[in-house]
Structure 1
């Protein structure tokens, strides 16, 4: 039974991934607004209902696989080690993502990640969803810090600074690759660039939200 359940789960993951990639390919080729969910379903050889079972809306066909990353900074702070500050935790997580070439920080060599980003940036409804998702991630981080420190105002400032550092680094990775640099070249100094970015805000947040 356990093996059968494992097989079913793997098939579900494979189906979702296939639908996702087919949808993005169609959106990139023809434009998000010019492709219907039914056309995605037909291309993926599944029913329209199956698409909605895996992805709750047309926008989710683009965002569902990446949406969890809007909460990366809050997750880093929530799971940080005793004695680790909020800055240290977010920096450590980001450097780990750089080391593994995580697509969420714009360092994956596969062109697909860049295609998704361009699709979002060129489609107003998707760009709005991205902005709202990023804002929610920052609010969640601020709420977490406010709960721990008891100072909502400083928590909002800290969350905004940490989010801005991450976002600026990720945008730089994407922009450099889009300008023609190889992912390897960008990754070669990405860790050092990240250290500089977080050092820029560290003095202001030094000693803030150190976990007991």
Structure 2
């Protein structure tokens, strides 16, 4: 029975991956709005109902596999060790992702992640969902910090600043690769760039942009 259940679960994962990859390929080729769910189902050799069983909506076909990463910073703070600050936790997590070339921080050499990002940036409805998902992640981080510190205002400032730093670093990775740099070149100084960004936050912006 355990083996049968394991086989069923593996088949479900394989089916979901096949649907996802076929959807991304069609969206990249023709644009998100020009592709129907039925066409995705046909390409993946499943029924339209099966697509909706795995992905609740057409937008989920793009976002479901990546949406969990919008709350990465909150997870890092929630799971941090005693004596570790919020900045240290988010920085440590981000540096670990950089070292692993995690696709969510834009450093994976495979082009698939950049293809998905391009689909999102070229589709207004997906950009709106990305913005809302990012805001939800920031609010989750702010709520967690407010609960711990008892100061919702400062918690909101810190959460917004940490989220902005992560987003800026990720956007830089994507922009440099889109401009022609190799993922290896970008990854070579990504950790140092991250340390500088989070170091700026850690130091409270002291001396930043002081006019001569």
Q: Distance in 2 between matches of 1:50 and 1:82?
A: 45
Which residue pairs with 1:110 in the alignment?
110
Within 5 Å, give how 1:73-84 maps onto structure 2.
73-84=73-84
Q: CA deviation at 1:77?
A: 0.2
Partner of 2:144, secondary structure, is: helix
TM-score normalised to structure 2 length: 0.95
Partner of 2:71, secondary structure, is: helix
Gaps of 5+ in 1: 206-212
Q: CA deviation at 1:119?
A: 0.6
Gaps of 5+ in 2: 206-212
Q: CA deviation at 1:204?
A: 2.1
Q: CA deviation at 1:6?
A: 1.4
Which residue pairs with 1:170 in the alignment?
170
Q: Deviations over 1:60-85 (max 9, x none)?
A: 00000000000000000000001000
Which residue pairs with 1:195 in the alignment?
195
Which residue pairs with 1:70 in the alignment?
70
Which residue pairs with 2:144 in the alignment?
144
Q: CA deviation at 1:121?
A: 0.3
Q: Distance in 2 between matches of 1:99 and 1:63?
A: 24
TM-align CA RMSD: 0.8
Which residue pairs with 1:35 in the alignment?
35
Which residue pairs with 2:95 in the alignment?
95
Which residue pairs with 2:25 in the alignment?
25
Q: Distance in 1 between matches of 2:5 and 2:204?
A: 50
Which residue pairs with 1:204 in the alignment?
204
TM-score normalised to structure 1 length: 0.95
Q: Distance in 1 between matches of 2:84 and 2:95?
A: 15
Which residue pairs with 1:210 in the alignment?
none
**Equivalent residues, number:** 205
Q: CA deviation at 1:4?
A: 1.6
